[in-house]
């Protein structure tokens, strides 16, 4: 499978570094989150930014699809159709699962190159980051979720018990004035994460659907403590 990827460093710096895969939000692209890297730890870390597999607004031709990829180009991209598959729907379960496996397949390709693999997702990208961690906890060292949510599902597609047993380090940050993520999605995420992962939660007063300087400081500290420090000890 072909992926559109941008890196934060040179090829010779990547082997045995700690990979952080960046998963952008709905309607964005692979270069967006790379703008955050200048505020985050660089030594020993490779930030890999992936383009979502579908042009924004695209719908699947069939609900028997086996791949997340929808060909085409656009100014922005999506992990799954927000309007559902072929018809409007609140939760596109198949779309989320296909996008999750799209990322998992990439991680299986690169896992032997890096000392560890962590995920950083914004908005819809956080939904995919958390879904990947639930699907393959064995591949993921830590997750950073920004202004997003966890998908509500009891499907056996996910290895939720294995994830809980792992006590995965998970940074979750959001603003209390975010007008984009629906309140029911926030409520589920707020209730599901504490009993499932080793949660580092931050709520930012007045922050909308964005990332603040204060939050980046907290993310940087999380990377130092939960990704880099364990490797050095």
pTM here is 0.94
Over 50: is that where the pLDDT of 165 sits?
Answer: yes
Residue 108's Cβ-count burial label (10 Å; 0-12, 13-18, 19+) is: exposed
Q: What are the pLDDT digits (tens) for 6-59?
A: 999 999 999 999 999 999 999 999 999 999 999 999 999 999 999 999 999 888
Please tell me the number of Cα atoms within 13 Å of 32 on its side-chain side: 22
Q: How confident is the model at residue 89 (pLDDT cuts 50, 70, 90)?
A: very low
Tell me, what's the pLDDT at 161?
96
Tell me, what's the pLDDT at 54?
94
Rounded to 5 degrees, φ, ψ at 18 are -95, 115
Architecture of domain 5-49+90-232: 3-Layer(aba) Sandwich (3.40)
End-to-end CA, the chain: 37
Q: How confident is the model at residue 75 (pLDDT cuts 50, 70, 90)?
A: confident
Show me where the domains of the chain are located: 5-49+90-232
Widest CA span in the chain: 51
Rounded to 5 degrees, φ, ψ at 221 are -65, -40
Mean of the per-residue pLDDT values for the chain? 93
Over 60: is that where the pLDDT of 181 sits?
Answer: yes
- Classified as helix, coil or strand, 166 is helix
Nearest to 118 by CA among 31, 8, 227, 36: 227
């Amino acid at each position: 499978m072909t992926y559109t990827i941008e890196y934060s460093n040179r090829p010779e710096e990547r082997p045995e570094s700690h990979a952080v895969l960046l998963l952008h939000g709905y309607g964005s692209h692979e270069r967006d989150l790379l703008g955050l890297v200048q505020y985050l730890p660089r030594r020993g870390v490779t930030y890999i930014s992936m383009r979502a597999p579908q042009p924004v607004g695209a719908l699947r031709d069939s609900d028997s699809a086996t791949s997340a990829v929808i060909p085409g180009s656009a100014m922005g991209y999506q992990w799954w159709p927000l309007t559902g598959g072929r018809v409007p729907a609140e939760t596109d379960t198949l779309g989320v699962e296909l996008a999750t496996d799209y990322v998992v397949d990439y991680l299986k390709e690169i896992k032997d190159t890096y000392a560890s693999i962590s995920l950083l997702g914004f908005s819809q990208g956080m939904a995919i980051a958390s879904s990947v961690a639930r699907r393959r906890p064995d591949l993921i060292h830590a997750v950073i979720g920004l202004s997003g949510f966890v998908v509500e599902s009891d499907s056996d597609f996910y290895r939720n018990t294995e994830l809980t047993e792992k006590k995965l380090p998970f940074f979750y940050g959001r603003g209390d004035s975010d007008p984009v993520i629906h309140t029911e999605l926030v409520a589920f995420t707020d209730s599901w994460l504490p009993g499932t992962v080793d949660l580092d939660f931050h709520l930012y007063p007045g922050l909308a659907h964005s990332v603040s300087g204060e939050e980046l400081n907290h993310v940087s500290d999380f990377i130092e403590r939960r990704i880099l420090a364990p490797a050095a000890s």
